[in-house]
Structure 1
Amino acid sequence: MPIQRLPDHPSLELLRKQAKTLLRRVRADVPESRALVAEFHPRPPQVFRLADAQLVTARRYGFASWPRLKEHLVTVERYTRSPHLVEPSQEPWAEFLRLACLNYGADDPRRRQEAGLLLSRHPHLATANAHTMAATGAADALADLLAADPGAARAQGGPFGWEPLLYLAYARLDGPGRYVAAARLLLDHGADPDAGFLWDGLTSPFTVLTGAFGGGEGDQPPHPEAMALARLLLEAGADPNDGQALYNRGLGGTFSDDTAHLRLLLEFGLGRGEGGPWHARLGPALQSPRQLLRDELATAALRGGPRRARLLLDHGAEVNGLGGHPVYGGRTPYELALLNGHTEVAELLAAAGGSAGGSAGGSVGGSVGG
């Protein structure tokens, strides 16, 4: 039986109920429940107890133990933010930030226009605090503030409870700003290049890199200095295995065969390593770096991206690796390209050894977005 993905918004109470239900069904000798125990319990006991049911419940979701599963829920709660649900604020600087930043739930461009109008009427909002300085790219004012208070570089606050670097990456303003200089100042004073949040509790981190690249199901615009900002973050140690950024610029939203973001991420190690701090925090809820490459090649085949496919193959993507998202239907990239009429991609894959019904190496770990 395959490992299952945790449901959205998992609660400890729900999982406890699942374990108790499993306990009752095993004691009632229900075949399906007995099969779960045989599959996921390392040493099935003769007398099945609640602790055993909790262990099986944890392992069927990919966690080594019930305490590890509980720890995961605590982590999700710690990092969860719901920026799209934040109500208007009476504080002008907080309302400015609420309107100026992408929230991935209600990103009507008129909100950002309102932010611009608010700023034009009250220019002092740009330098109200570290969060507004970051969002407007007010590098000189930020330098003065950080010289006096270096800790402001990592202070969570504002309407979304974000660090300044997140406001910088998710802000979308028309006016000029020295964003890369401001980001460098924040990083030099201890800001985390892997800062991020879990959107409404979904276990696919929206990181600073995610914000810089933009994209997604609402076709959110990239940051005005997206590539320079992303390079700076990667040079500062941001992990390139950013599943949400890849989803937003690939499977989610309007597809483009542009490869600039992929080239940059591959340059800094996309598809390699352990997955960075977010993978350490969320474990089996996230896809492995290797699986991210499989998904990217599957997306190029599904959506028709010959430039992407060629680039990924050149960087070691498994030609017959299976994408983990349900939309791929367990099909190889070659099958996806053929079924969707993308002849050029199919030919590229076939030349590299692509076939129908290839490797079953694609795990279905935590899916991203969608």
Structure 2
Amino acid sequence: MNVPNASATPAPIAATPGATVAPPAPAAAPLPLLPRPAAAEFEAALERGAYMPLTQFGVIDVHGDDAASFLHSQLTNDVQHLDAATARLTGYCSPKGRLLASFLSWRTGDTIRLLISKDIQAAVQKRLSMFVLRAKAKLADASAQLAVVGFAGDVRKALSQVFDALPDAVHVQVDGPAGSLIRVPDAAGRLRYLWIGPQAEVAARRPLLEGALAQVSPAVWDWLDIRAGEPRITQPAVEQFVPQMVNFDVLDGVNFRKGCYPGQEVVARSQYRGTIKRRMALAHAALELADVRAGSELFHSDDPGQPCGQIVNAASAPEGGVDALVEIKLAALENGAVHLGSADGPALRFMPLPYALPAEA
């Protein structure tokens, strides 16, 4: 076991008379509840091709000679060896091994970019900045300068009008004058890409897309992420899950061979010492999104007195109702029924994830 990196969790500094104490990070507003997309919007993504501006994300830029080594010491994945053609899912944990944030990380030029849920960006950026100490690294909010656009379906021809080359595998990225294009995991059998570029460059090239692809709601992307089995840490989920509880190990969001980071010993112990008893599953509820929010508790019919899990992410589904990623005790999936809110609340219907979970010993 690695010895925790002293720089990862510095001791608090006592205030001295007259010292200026940094104000807390501004409280971000919760993500807005996106209206249910029209049936035609889901159809466009599934049957043809669609693009969607993703206003639910923010971007943190990390600059400086020590940007990679600093992030490597803080995050769950290998950032030190992140090359210019690769993107990686990674997490940021508390000292107790609970996820404070999830990111998609990649390099563009001398900058490492972190794509994060907008509602937790300010708090996470402030916390990371507190641990920079003597490292030559600076974090900046790049959200106002960059546009984030998602693509799903038959979109390769349209994207070829913007980028000279397209990523040929998941988490491969290409850079060009218009920004970065990253292929992300397929969902519902459809290709997906993320385009992150300067606002002006994206705006100038959007007319190339508008004749070929339908523009749809960002809520469609939320649903596609869920069907891809990829969790996103938002405000209600902060410090709720060890990475394995939301399948980060299966999604290659944790590198168990890298050096220390906050919470590393807890994450490693969960992996190597004992059975992982909780995992993330895919479920459907015949409800509306307002009734199935992140953080909502789940109860099993055979054990009504205590929750067996909670909602991680939820989104309106094409056929009606809501699809959700749920963190749950594995034993609760073996028999009986799982309900939302209470043991006599609405029942969930479970569906297969698009990837296999490891067989627990």
Q: Same fold (TM over 0.5)?
A: no
- Answer with 1 or 2: which has the greater Rg: 1
TM-score between both structures, scaled by the size of structure 2: 0.29
Which structure has more relative contact order (CA 8 Å, sep 6+)? It is: 2
Specify which structure has the higher proportion of helix: 1
